[in-house]
């Protein structure tokens, strides 16, 4: 098996959230043809793979992550012919397609679940059903099988009176968890992989895949919300190895979204010797602004904790032969410059938008760019709850008020945390609908699209887009970035993240990099002058760094990599 650095070290992935990327037919919703129309833009940016969020048949209760048929294209996104054209045109430009497979659950509209509801014993065994009490009724179903909490709020079990059974839904009530202990289910999902692989797909992203293996004995969680019982579950590695082996995807680019996972498990998920996936998404670093671990309780980002988490995942995954997917942003996260930076002025916005990719793109792993991130797109700053579409956000707006928050307090929290913050349409130009659609967009467009847009930035050599393009070019040209070791440095300020990359056999480029990032709106001391003596600037988002009293001091939101 090829070493991960050799396989993935020079690759960059771009995530497309289909409904918000580009609308080709004026219905206000992005589609597959819209992606094809923008392939030259993506080629010019320099990305290697497109991770495309689910475009399969779906009632869209969770924007496509509630799949009703894995082998059909949802009509709002186009046709199978549109997909074939996209696949063909992407391949012609040297870009691979990575499809997003939602295998933990299906929509309750899926044929399998509908047959289960009809009492078909074969399909009842496709899902996680549990018997209710013999005297249960629709009006009084009794206690659910466990007290586990859905990740979208409320209990994770739903009672079905006609069956006198409960089904598990770790997410929305319309997303029923599959029973991976059933070999017929696993075989069905292998066939789905083979179907898309035959259509020329180059890779797969697996949604919340470390939740697929549930415990045999169901029990209440009196310490938390239940996740400790099903996260990285009892047969997870066995099931992943089977899926990869039987699906014939061991040599392909595959990434697993790993919810509340551990480093040890992610080494097993991604190290070549285990024949599971090629890389993992972990989210611990995106919880450093959760007060007491609660997503819906705000605090300022804890940069010291962020530094420690990045250090642990970088150094320990490297030592174990694992491989990290590097990211700040996706369709489930607020925009990172609004979250970890400062967008109050144009200069702070630019620096923040370039600080973040400097930090991750020079790490060991595969960088992911979420659509619009390369433009510096920000949170939308909506002014009314009516502007939000996300089921989780709308649920928590109510839950937060039920917990005692005022409507204003609840709305402020939703504004900071909503998944819709990252789901507003890509800002292609400064026209009324940002060049996204000729119709009415499915969700509102930030007012700042007039200045933050692709048309303006691609033509500007000093733009955020140009900076991202430069980072991609550096990765492709520089062995120390692709495959170098990584070691975090003890920065003087807790607001500075500093690490070192080194490689012994650099045929070209530097053999050592020191990367320094100031996550602060004030100047901060980074390292002693002795530590970085002799280094020259490799890449930086400003010239605001200098030596003072024997220390290298970084200006606000400054990022620099020094090379030897």
| Maximum Cα interatomic distance, the chain, rounded to a whole number of Å | 78
| Beta-strand pair 49-52/13-16 | parallel
pLDDT in tens, 56-85: 999 999 889 999 999 999 999 999 999 999
Rounded CA separation 231/496 (Å): 32
Three-state SS for 194?
helix
Say whether pLDDT at 144 is over 90: yes
Three-state SS for 498?
strand
Structure tokens at 98: 């990575």
Average pLDDT of span 334-357: 98
The secondary structure of 77-93, three-state, reads HCCHHHHHHHHHHHHHC
Average pLDDT of span 142-167: 96
177, β-bridge pairs: 105
Quick check: 169 and 113 in contact, CB under 8 A?
no
Average pLDDT of span 218-239: 97
Instruction: Locate all alpha helices (DSSP H) within 300-363, ordered by sequence.
Output: 303-320, 336-340, 346-361
Rounded CA separation 547/554 (Å): 9
Say whether pLDDT at 292 is over 50: yes
pLDDT in tens, 88-97: 999 999 999 9
Say whether pLDDT at 207 is over 60: yes
Residues 6+ apart with CB under 8 A from 102: 54, 65, 66, 67, 207
Q: What is the pLDDT of residue 505?
A: 78
> Mean pLDDT in the chain?
97
Structure tokens at 379: 């949170």
Confidence of residue 506 (pLDDT cuts 50, 70, 90): confident
Residues 6+ apart with CB under 8 A from 204: 98, 99, 100, 101, 193, 196, 249, 252, 254, 255
Structure tokens at 26: 């004026």
Q: Whole-model pTM?
A: 0.96
pLDDT in tens, 386-411: 999 998 899 999 999 999 999 999 99
Say whether pLDDT at 521 is over 70: yes
Average pLDDT of span 163-174: 97
Residue 171 vs residues 105, 208, 361, 488: alpha-carbon distances, Å: 9, 11, 32, 36
Quick check: 485 and 9 in contact, CB under 8 A?
no
End-to-end CA, the chain? 32
Rounded CA separation 97/199 (Å): 10
Nearest CA among 291, 192, 299, 201 for reference residue 254 = 201
Three-state SS for 117?
helix
Q: What is the pLDDT of residue 1?
A: 44
**Torsions phi, psi of 346, nearest 5?**
-60, -40
Three-state SS for 51?
strand
Give the count of beta carbons closer than 10 Å to the beta carbon of residue 6: 11
Rounded CA separation 316/314 (Å): 6
Give the count of beta carbons closer than 10 Å to the beta carbon of residue 348: 17
From its phi and psi, is residue 431 left (phi > 0), alpha (psi between -120 and 50) or beta? beta
- Catalogue the active-site residues: 207, 257
Residues 6+ apart with CB under 8 A from 546: 552, 553
Q: What is the pLDDT of residue 2?
A: 64
Rounded CA separation 317/188 (Å): 32
pLDDT in tens, 1-54: 468 999 999 999 999 999 999 999 999 999 999 999 999 999 999 999 999 999
Say whether pLDDT at 153 is over 90: no
């Amino acid at each position: 098996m090829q070493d991960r650095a050799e396989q993935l070290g020079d690759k960059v992935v771009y995530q497309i959230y289909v409904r918000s990327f580009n609308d080709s037919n004026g219905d206000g919703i992005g589609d597959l043809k819209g992606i094809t129309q923008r392939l030259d833009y993506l080629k010019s940016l320099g990305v290697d793979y497109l991770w495309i969020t689910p475009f399969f048949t779906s009632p869209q209760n969770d924007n496509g992550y509630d799949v009703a048929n894995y082998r059909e294209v949802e009509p709002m996104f186009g046709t199978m012919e549109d997909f074939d054209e996209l696949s063909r045109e992407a391949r012609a430009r040297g870009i691979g397609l990575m499809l997003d497979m939602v295998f933990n659950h299906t929509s309750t509209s899926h044929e399998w679940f509908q047959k289960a509801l009809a009492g078909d014993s074969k399909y009842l065994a496709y899902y996680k059903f549990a018997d209710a009490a013999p005297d249960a009724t629709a009006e009084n179903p009794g206690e659910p099988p466990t007290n586990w909490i859905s990740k979208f709020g409320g209990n994770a079990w739903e009672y079905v009176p006609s069956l006198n059974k409960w089904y598990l839904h770790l997410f929305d009530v319309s997303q029923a968890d599959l029973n991976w202990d059933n070999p017929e289910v696993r075989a069905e999902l292998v066939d789905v992989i083979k179907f898309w692989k035959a259509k020329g797909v180059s890779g797969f992203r697996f949604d919340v895949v470390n939740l697929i293996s549930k415990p045999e004995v169901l029990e209440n969680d009196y310490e938390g919300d239940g996740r400790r019982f099903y996260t990285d579950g009892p047969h997870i590695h066995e099931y992943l190895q089977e899926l990869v082996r039987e699906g014939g995807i061991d040599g392909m680019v595959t990434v697993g979204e790993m919810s509340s996972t551990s480093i040890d498990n992610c080494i097993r998920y991604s190290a070549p010797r285990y024949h599971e996936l090629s890389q993992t998404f972990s989210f611990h670093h995106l919880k450093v602004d959760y007060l007491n671990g609660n997503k819906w309780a705000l605090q300022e980002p804890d940069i010291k904790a962020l530094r420690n988490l990045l250090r642990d995942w970088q150094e320990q995954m490297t030592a174990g032969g694992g491989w990290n997917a590097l990211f700040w942003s996706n369709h489930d996260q607020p925009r990172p410059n609004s979250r970890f930076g400062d967008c109050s002025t144009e200069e702070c916005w630019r620096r923040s938008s370039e600080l973040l990719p400097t930090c991750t793109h020079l790490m060991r792993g595969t960088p992911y760019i979420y659509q619009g991130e390369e433009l510096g797109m920000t949170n939308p700053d909506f002014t009314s709850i009516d502007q939000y579409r996300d089921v989780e956000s709308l649920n928590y707006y109510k839950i937060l008020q039920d917990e005692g928050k005022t409507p204003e307090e609840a709305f402020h929290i939703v504004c900071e945390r909503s998944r819709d913050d990252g789901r507003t349409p890509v800002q292609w130009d400064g026209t009324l609908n940002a060049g996204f659609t000729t119709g009415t967009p499915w969700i509102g467009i930030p007012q700042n699209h007039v200045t933050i847009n692709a048309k303006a930035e691609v033509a500007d050599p000093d733009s955020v887009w140009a900076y991202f393009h430069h980072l991609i070019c550096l990765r492709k040209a520089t062995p120390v970035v692709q495959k170098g070791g990584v070691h975090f440095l003890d920065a003087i300020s807790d607001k500075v993240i500093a690490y070192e990359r080194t490689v012994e056999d650099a045929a070209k480029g530097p053999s050592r990099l020191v990367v320094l990032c100031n996550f602060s709106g004030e100047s901060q001391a980074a390292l002693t002058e002795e530590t970085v003596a002799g280094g020259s600037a490799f890449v930086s988002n400003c010239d605001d760094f200098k030596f003072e009293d024997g220390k290298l001091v970084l200006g606000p939101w400054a990022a620099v990599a020094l090379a030897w």
